[in-house]
């Protein structure tokens, strides 16, 4: 789940508005709105993330809904890109993947709900997605659903260093590809 989805889910379940959360956590309503729309995300482990988690747990407490700060913080933090996941590394590996697998960028853009020219610019390392974790998960999901013929499986196996057999399970394929895209090669 992306940070955006996670935040929106908490607010929906709690019946909490962005304005109320803003007052509870000390983060501007405009910033909360940007996080809710996916236009921005806080940094992994940041003070602003702690403030938002504190605000959500306070809103839950006001409504007598069990929801500890630690649970909210860990849940939201885990939906953010980890610092060891460099955007530059992911984008470089995405370009390699697109080149080797001959991925149709228009189909990928439709799947991710991105503009095709933006996806093209990402593959050429001219742009970086704001939500690298969400982008990474979407690309891995797309590829794991589309890779089916033996040639594609062999190319992907060569890139990731695993057997073709391991890539035939869609969930395992997505996880292996995700790990490969996060590493320097």
Distance in angstroms (rounded) separating the CA atoms of residues 118 and 108: 11
User: Residue 53 is part of which domain span?
Assistant: 3-77
* 146 part of a folded domain: yes
- CA–CA separation, 132 and 58 (whole Å): 29
Query: What is the token pair recorded at 174?
Result: 């997505």
Distance separating alpha carbons of residues 134 and 157, to the nearest angstrom? 23
Domain at 157, CATH number: 1.10.260
Residues 92 and 162 in one domain: yes
Residues in CB range of 121: below 8 A, 6 or more apart: 127
Show the tokens assigned to 11: 């607010």
Asked if residue 60 and residue 97 are part of one domain, the reply reads: no
pLDDT-based confidence at residue 85 (cuts at 50, 70, 90): low
Say whether both 95 and 176 belong to one domain.
Answer: yes
Which residue in the block uniquely carries the two structure tokens 């908490």? 10
From 176, 142, 139, select the one nearest 161 (Cα to Cα).
176
Could you say which of 77, 100, 122 is where a domain stops?
77
* Residue that terminates a domain, selected from 53, 77, 101: 77
82: in domain: no
Average pLDDT of the segment spanning 90-113? 95
Q: What is the pLDDT of residue 71?
A: 94
pTM given for the model: 0.59
- One domain, residues 60 and 119: no
pLDDT surpassing 70 at residue 84:
no
**Contact between residue 48 and residue 40 where contact means Cβ atoms under 8 Å apart:** no
2-45 residue pLDDT tens: 889 999 999 999 999 999 999 999 999 999 999 998 888 898 88
Q: How many domains does the chain have?
A: 2
**What does pLDDT average to over the chain?**
92
Whether residue 15 is found in the same domain as residue 33? yes
Which is more confident, 83 or 23?
23
């Amino acid at each position: 789940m992306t940070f955006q989805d996670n935040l929106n889910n908490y607010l929906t379940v709690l019946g909490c508005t962005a304005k109320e959360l803003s007052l509870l956590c000390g983060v501007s309503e405009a910033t909360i709105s940007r996080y809710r729309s996916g236009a921005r995300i806080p940094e992994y482990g940041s003070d602003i993330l702690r403030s938002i988690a504190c605000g959500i747990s306070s809103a839950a407490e006001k409504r007598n809904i069990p929801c500890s700060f630690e649970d909210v913080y860990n849940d939201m933090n885990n939906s953010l890109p980890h610092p060891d996941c460099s955007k530059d590394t992911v984008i470089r590996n995405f370009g390699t993947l697109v080149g080797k697998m001959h991925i149709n960028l228009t189909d990928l853009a439709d799947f991710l709900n991105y503009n095709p020219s933006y996806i093209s610019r990402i593959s050429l390392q001219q742009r970086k997605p704001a939500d690298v974790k969400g982008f990474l998960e979407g690309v891995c999901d797309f590829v794991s659903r589309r890779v089916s013929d033996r040639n594609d499986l062999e190319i992907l196996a060569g890139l990731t260093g695993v057997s073709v057999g391991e890539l035939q399970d869609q969930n395992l394929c997505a996880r292996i590809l995700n790990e490969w895209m996060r590493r320097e090669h």
